[in-house]
Structure 1
Amino acid sequence: MVKGKKTIGRTEVIDLPELGLYNIHAKTDTGAETSVLHCEDMEIIKKDGHMYIVAYIRPEEHKAKTLRFTFPVHRERTVKSSFGQSEIRYIFLTKIRMFNELYDIKLSFRNRSSMSYPMLLGRNFITGKFLVDVSKKNLATNLL
Structure 2
Amino acid sequence: MKQNKTYSPESKFKQLAIIGWRETIALPELGINRIKAKIDTGARSSALHTFHVEEFRRDGKQMLRFQVHPYQRNSKQTVTTEAELLEYRQIRNSGGHAQLRPVVVTTVQLGDQQWQIELTLTNRDVMGFRMLLGRQAIRHHFLVDPGKSFLQSYHHPEK
TM-score in terms of structure 1 length: 0.85
Match of 1:56 in 2: 67
Query: Per-residue deviation at 1:103?
Result: 1.5
Picking from 28, 37, 60, the partner of 2:39 is: 28
8 Å contact kept, 2:105–2:117: yes
CA distance in 2, matches of 1:12, 1:67: 20
Query: Per-residue deviation at 1:25?
Result: 0.6
1:6-54 CA distances to partner (integer Å, 9 max, x unpaired)?
1111101111112221231100111111111111331333456532222
1:48-101 CA distances to partner (integer Å, 9 max, x unpaired)?
653222211234553535332221112221111232211112111111111222
8 Å contact kept, 1:98–1:141: yes
Instruction: State the percentage of identical aligned residues.
Output: 33
In structure 2, runs of 5+ residues without a counterpart are: 1-9
CA distance in 1, matches of 2:21, 2:131: 12
**One-letter amino acid of the counterpart of residue 136, structure 1:** K
Match of 2:99 in 1: 87
Larger radius of gyration: 2
Count of residues in correspondence between the two structures? 143
Picking from 71, 83, 89, the partner of 1:71 is: 83
Picking from 117, 132, 147, the partner of 1:135 is: 147
**One-letter amino acid of the counterpart of residue 33, structure 2:** Y
CA distance in 2, matches of 1:118, 1:63: 12
Structure 1 stretches of at least 4 aligned residues deviating more than 4 Å after TM superposition? 46-49
In structure 1, runs of 5+ residues without a counterpart are: none
What is the CA RMSD across the aligned residues, in angstroms? 2.2
Query: Per-residue deviation at 1:105?
Result: 1.5
**One-letter amino acid of the counterpart of residue 8, structure 1:** I
CA distance in 2, matches of 1:117, 1:66: 16
CA distance in 2, matches of 1:6, 1:134: 14
